[in-house]
Amino acid sequence: MGEKWGDNSTVQELTKSFEKAHEALGHKTWIVGRTTMEKDFTHHAAPIHKLIDYTISREDHVAKSDAASYAIAIDGHGKLGWNSAEMLGEHVITVLTEAVQDSYLAHLQEIGVSYVFAGEDKINLPVALEKLKTLFNIEILMLEGGGHLNGSFLNEGLIDEYHQLLLPLADGRTDTSSVFEIEEKDRRCNATLLKLQQVKQLEDDVLWLTYKVNAQV
C-alpha cells in the first residue's frame, strides 16, 4: 500500500480491500515487523523504560496464553513503545533478542505484554515460531509485512501460502517497496516457486490471487 497514492476517494476505497481480505481469511493472529507496527499501529511512540535496580533473566514472559487472537511484533532490540497489552483487541506478543535492556522488559511485564526471546543479538525466526506455537498454541500466522520481514520468512522457507491483491492502479515510482525484500548477502536461494490455487475478482476490479509455496530453487 503506497502512502503516496493520495487521498482520492477511489484510491481510499481500493485500499480497504486489504482489510476485507484480512477478515475474509479468518485467521485472527497476525505478525508484522517493527517498522510496520511503529508506522501503522503504535504511531512512532517512544519505547518506555522502567527505572529498576535489579536484573531480569532472559526467560520468556507469558502474560496471557489463552487469548482468542494475538498481535505479534518482531522487535529485536526493543524499539517499540507499548502502553497497553492489547492492540486492536488482540493480546500483544513481542519477539525480542537477549540484547534488549532490563528496564524495557520491566515495563512490558508491568503492563502485561508477553514477550519471547529468539536469539542473542539477531532474531532467529524458526526459534520464534516454535516458541509461539509451544507457549501460545499458535498454529497459523498471518504475515503482513513489511517487505524485510516478508523476505526473511520467505528466505527461511517459513511461508506456506501467499495471498496477493492486485489493485487497478499504477504509480510508476522507482522507490516503491517490494512485497519481499532480501539482502543479497543473506539470500539462501535464487527464487521461490509458487503454484496458483485460485483467482477471485473482487469489487472495483481488484484481483485476489492465492498461491501455495512450491519450492525454493
Per-residue pLDDT of the chain (217 residues; tens, 9 = 90+): 667 888 889 998 998 999 899 999 988 899 999 999 999 999 999 999 999 999 999 999 999 999 999 999 999 999 999 999 999 999 999 999 999 999 999 999 999 999 999 999 999 999 999 999 999 999 999 999 999 999 999 999 999 999 999 999 998 888 888 899 999 999 999 999 999 999 999 999 999 999 999 999 9
Whether 98 maps to a domain, the answer reads yes
Do 102 and 199 fall into the same domain?
no
Do 150 and 135 fall into the same domain?
no
Do 95 and 134 fall into the same domain?
yes
Nearest to 18 by CA among 208, 189, 179, 191: 208
Nearest to 38 by CA among 89, 75, 76: 75
Do 47 and 117 fall into the same domain?
yes
pLDDT recorded at residue 1: 67
- Give the Å distances, CA to CA, from 54 to 46, 101, 199: 23, 12, 56
Do 92 and 55 fall into the same domain?
yes
Mapping DSSP onto H, E and C, the string for the chain reads: CCHHHCCCHHHHHHHHHHHHHHHHHCCCCEEEEHHHHHHHCCCCCCCCCCCCCCCCCCCCECCCCCCCCEEEEECCCCCCCCCCCEECCEEEEEEECCCCCHHHHHHHHHHCCEEEECCCCCCCHHHHHHHHHHHHCCCCCEECCCHHHHHHHHHCCCCCEEEEEECCCCCCCCCCCCCCCCCHHHCCCCCEEEEEEEEEECHHHCEEEEEEEEEEC
Whether 215 maps to a domain, the answer reads yes
Phi-psi region of 166 (alpha: psi -120 to 50; beta: other; left: phi over 0): beta
Nearest to 135 by CA among 158, 149, 120, 115: 115
Do 136 and 150 fall into the same domain?
no
Residue 97's CATH number: 3.40.430.10
Q: Please give the grid coordinates belonging to residue 186.
A: 543473506
Tell me the C-alpha distance between 180 and 157, whole Å. 13
pLDDT recorded at residue 113: 98
Do 208 and 168 fall into the same domain?
yes
Domain that holds residue 214: 146-217
Do 42 and 87 fall into the same domain?
yes
pLDDT recorded at residue 199: 98
pLDDT recorded at residue 7: 86
Do 164 and 69 fall into the same domain?
no
pLDDT recorded at residue 186: 95
Do 57 and 128 fall into the same domain?
yes
Domain count for the chain, please give it. 2
Do 137 and 152 fall into the same domain?
no
Q: Please give the grid coordinates belonging to residue 50.
A: 522502567
Do 122 and 201 fall into the same domain?
no
> pTM of the entire structure?
0.94
Whether 6 maps to a domain, the answer reads no
Task: Please identify, among 144, 170, 192, the residue that sits at the C-terminal boundary of a domain.
Answer: 144
